[in-house]
A and B are shown apart, each in its own frame.
Chain A
Amino acid sequence: MSGSAAALLPGRCQWRLAAADIVAVAERDALGTTARLAVWPASALPAAAGAVDSELDRLDRAASRFRPDSEVSRLHAMGGGPVDVSDALAEAIGIALAAAEWSGGLSDPALGAALVALGYDRDFAEVPRDRWDDTDALAPARLWQAWRSIRLTGCRVQVPAGVVLDLGATAKGLGADWSADAAMRASGCGGVVVSLGGDVAVAGESPRGGWPVLVADDHRLRARPAPARAATQLIRLSRGGLATSSITCRQWRRSGRTLHHIIDPRTGLPATGPWRTVSVAAATCADANAASTAAIVAGSAAPQWLGDRDIPARLVDRGGRVLHTGGWPVSDGGVLRPPEQRWLQLPAGLPRRIGGSRDPS
């Protein structure tokens, strides 16, 4: 893959790409969404892209519930016994469980059965956008606190029969963290930013003033047309991660009801709170991802929940009103300063793996 990335660089100006002040930006489809990579100097792009490919492939093979050959699919098929899994899946599950503990269950990795019952049982691109069938399928699933029944000791995991893992609340953030770190190590670049479906991680040194990041409902928005300008914000990010959860994406209709993919574990149904989009900055993108999901689920209690923890967040309600907490910059172009302390701690015996190496911190 690094070869194809290299082919993207115009050969006749390769000499110029070594200049430190040139940033290369590339993107690809990945994990049912878009991965976007920006790196400086531009000559580091092929190595960085290859490293990101490896991390995305590792995450997909470990944690995708849509691949029959993924580790998590085989884990479900084994019916509840203890199983030794890869470092990657162990870390993904460990982070998801840590997020559940930290958020009091608002971010929950055991909601896969609810999503399947609602019709999100395949790659989202293949989910019927409007399906009419037995409305009993929308009966609430009893999943509250089911995540507590999952056991993880080192790389040994036990998922009870009937519990279906969905690591979506943290896995993309974790993948962005892995990818940014791996790109930095592999390419020796000055700095890199990786966005995985709008969940953003940075590594190395940022451009002067920080990486400019647009915050919006949809991660695919590139420009800021006048009608949408009020709903977006430009911020600058120099370290850590930034994640956005939104109910405006991944929507579908079933039996006349509009559904989305952020499930409230207390009901087993899509969250019904006032927020359409929540963005959070944190020490890592996985941390930010957990908090943004939890805030959507927390509903009207989210501002208090975020404010009490001094979490930098930007909340957009269904009417478009914007609320900031925890020092999130109010002005357009403001500098976003994520907290340095990680919120999610892996269980003892499972050091955090970053970019193919062990980080005991």
Chain B
Amino acid sequence: MHGYEDAGLRRLDEPAGTGQASDSAAMRHAVERRDTGRRQTRRISGWAAAGLVAGVAAGAGYFAHAVPPAAVSTSSTAVQGTPGTAGQKPTLTHPVVTSGGSGVVAGTSGGSATSTGGSPASGSTVQWQDN
């Protein structure tokens, strides 16, 4: 099932032989459509500012008002920093990214957590947590 064909080394940009002309035309068409879509998408979406997070509390308030509303993602969150000194590393108290599954949620996420503790595993470093 997974045997190799007896083919010589090729590069990806080489033509693959007979019948390739129509395939290439179809591929070019598909690529053109895709690239056009990508350009349109980029014009529409691109990067959207999701927030400026200030390590200086006063600054956070200033930028919250200074950022043009149209440039800020609707999913942005107000993230506040704690007081610091300009030129130092910032201190953040609220998350700037979320690690989670990618794609569309289908209704199983959320806080259905109930727990009674106890571990089904024997690994010594495993800890159960009640929610």
Task: List residues of chain A with CB under 8 Å of any chain B CB.
Answer: 1, 4-5, 7-10, 12-13, 16-17, 19-29, 32-34, 36-38, 40, 42, 49, 67-69, 71, 74-75, 77-85, 124, 142, 146, 149, 156, 158, 160-163, 172, 190-191, 193, 195, 197-200, 205-209, 211-223, 226-231, 234, 242-251, 258, 261, 276-277, 279, 300, 303-304, 306-308, 310, 316, 318-327, 330
Q: Is there an interface contact between A320 and B114, defined as CB atoms closer than 8 Å?
A: yes
CA distance A127 to B10 in the complex (A): 33
By beta carbon, the residue of chain B nearest A17 is: B52
Q: Is there an interface contact between B123 and A71, defined as CB atoms closer than 8 Å?
A: no
**A20-B89, A214-B97, A248-B101 known; A10 vs B9 contact (CB < 8 Å):** no
By beta carbon, the residue of chain A nearest B86 is: A19
**A78-B12, A80-B4, A231-B131 known; A21 vs B90 contact (CB < 8 Å):** yes
Q: Is the interface of A mostly helix, strand, loop or mixed?
A: mixed
Q: Is there an interface contact between B106 and A251, defined as CB atoms closer than 8 Å?
A: yes
Contact-residue bracket for chain B: 35 or more
By beta carbon, the residue of chain A nearest B56 is: A21
Q: Is there an interface contact between A23 and B30, defined as CB atoms closer than 8 Å?
A: no
**In residues 63-79 of chain B, which contact A (Cβ within 8 Å)?**
63, 66-68, 71, 73, 75-77, 79
Shortest CB-to-CB span from A328 to chain B, Å, is 8
Shortest CB-to-CB span from B31 to chain A, Å, is 5
Residues of chain A within 8 A (CB-CB) of B11 are 83-84
Q: Is there an interface contact between B111 and A229, defined as CB atoms closer than 8 Å?
A: yes
Q: Is there an interface contact between A16 and B96, defined as CB atoms closer than 8 Å?
A: no
Q: Is there an interface contact between A307 and B123, defined as CB atoms closer than 8 Å?
A: yes
